[in-house]
Structure 1
Amino acid sequence: MLTIGCKIPAFDLPAVVSTDPATAFTRITRESAPGQWKVIFFWPKDFTFVCPTEIAAFGELAGAFAERDAVIYGVSTDSEYVHLAWRRSHPDLETLPFPMLADIKRELSAALGVLHPDEGVALRATFIVDPAGFIRFVSVNDLSVGRNPQEVLRVLDALRTEALCPCNWQKGEDVLQAA
């Protein structure tokens, strides 16, 4: 698995950005959103139970991420057409404010090392990538356990300080001073 300090691999994936079939599709690449932080999170499958809770929670925090000059990309190994169908059928996903990327060839999932060895789907992995394209945070959960998007936002805040942040540090609190 790629980890802290590695460059995010190149990718070019179809994505769903709305529920209107006429405007729903676009492409997202590593070069999209230049100069911004990127939060890239993976889920195993569309039309499941834990996944929409996480996706909706990231959606609720999209404004807070945007205030920090960060874009959110959600990714699974389902196709863009499955993403569109899911968004159109699930009330919590209809107005999702970030793209759902379709890694149907599993190229990005494989390059990052987050494919489940038996299931062939992405693990619940989260990456924070800095504006220079380097991975600064990685977290991976078991397929059955949802992640905490609020914690991802907290870590982004800490990374943006470029300072030493103690355990449970929150934005606005003092950072540590090296002696």
Structure 2
Amino acid sequence: MLTIGDSFPEFSKLATVSLEKGKEFETVTHEDHKKDGKWMVMFWYPKDFTFVCPTEIAEFNSQYPEFRDRDTVLYAASTDSEFVHLAWRKDHDDLRGLRFPMIADTSKSLAESLGILEKEEKVAYRATFIVDPDGIIRWVSVNDLNVGRNVEEVLRTLDALQTDELCPCNWTKGEDTLSA
């Protein structure tokens, strides 16, 4: 699995971005967040039309303004197709108003490059990557398939990384950092 200090892999993937007819899909790439010097958070989930996944996606969506305020591009990703993403968004009340792309990694090439494919089912683990504006992975967290992640912890870690200072245990934005 790729880890802290590694370059995030190059990718160009189709993503579901809207429910509006004719504007449902766009291509997203590893370069998109770098154009404006933004950070990237990409969170992976196993499958569409499941139970834990929509709780996470909905929580990332409710926290979307927090990511935007931190100059961070947010992406959801799974190995399902863009058409399955679209159908799920149309079908699930909590997913209709998503404000970030859902990447379709149908070839599983990006998930494989990241090292996050589950061995038996070949679906992505619940992996979260925080990537800096230079494309370097600065944080990785991976949960087993049946355990949802904590979006507040992703935000807390993003805040700490963006200080570029020493942050003690349980540090939160606005608290003092450490001096060496």
How many residues align? The count is: 178
Match of 2:90 in 1: 88
5+ residue gaps, structure 2 = none
Quote the residue 1:3 is aligned against: 3
Trace 1:130-145 onto structure 2 (pairs within 5 A).
Answer: 130-145=132-147
Q: Give the deviation of 1:74 after TM superposition.
A: 0.3
In structure 2, distance between residues paired with 1:129 and 1:50: 24
Tell me which residue corresponds to 1:54. 56
For the residue of structure 1 that corresponds to 2:175, the secondary structure is coil
CA RMSD of aligned residues (A): 0.6
- SS of aligned partner of 1:174: coil
Amino acid at match of 2:68: A
Alignment of structure 1 residues 31-110 onto 2, 5 Å = 31-34=31-34, 35-110=37-112
CA distance in 2, matches of 1:102, 1:149: 21
Shift of 1:33: 2.4
Q: What SS does structure 2 have at the residue aligned with 1:38?
A: strand
User: Gaps (5+ residues) in structure 1?
Assistant: none
- Alpha-carbon displacement from aligned partner over 1:126-150 (angstroms, at most 9, x marks no partner): 0000000000000000000000011
Q: Report the CA distance between 1:173 and its aligned residue.
A: 0.1
Q: Report the TM-score when normalising by structure 1.
A: 0.98
Deviation at 1:21, TM superposition (A): 3.1
Residue 74 of structure 2: SS of its match in structure 1?
strand
TM-score w.r.t. the length of structure 2 is 0.98
| Structure 2 counterpart of 1:119 | 121
- One-letter amino acid of the counterpart of residue 52, structure 1: P
Instruction: Report the equivalent of 1:153.
Output: 155
- The secondary structure found in structure 2 opposite 1:92 is helix
In 2, distance between residues paired with 1:13 and 1:48? 22
Q: Which AA in structure 1 matches 2:63? A: L
Give the superposition deviation at 1:22.
1.1
Cα distance, 1:36 vs. partner?
0.7
Amino acid at match of 1:10: E
* Alignment partners' CA distance in 2, 1:106 and 1:16: 16
The runs of at least 4 aligned residues of structure 1 exceeding 2 Å deviation read none
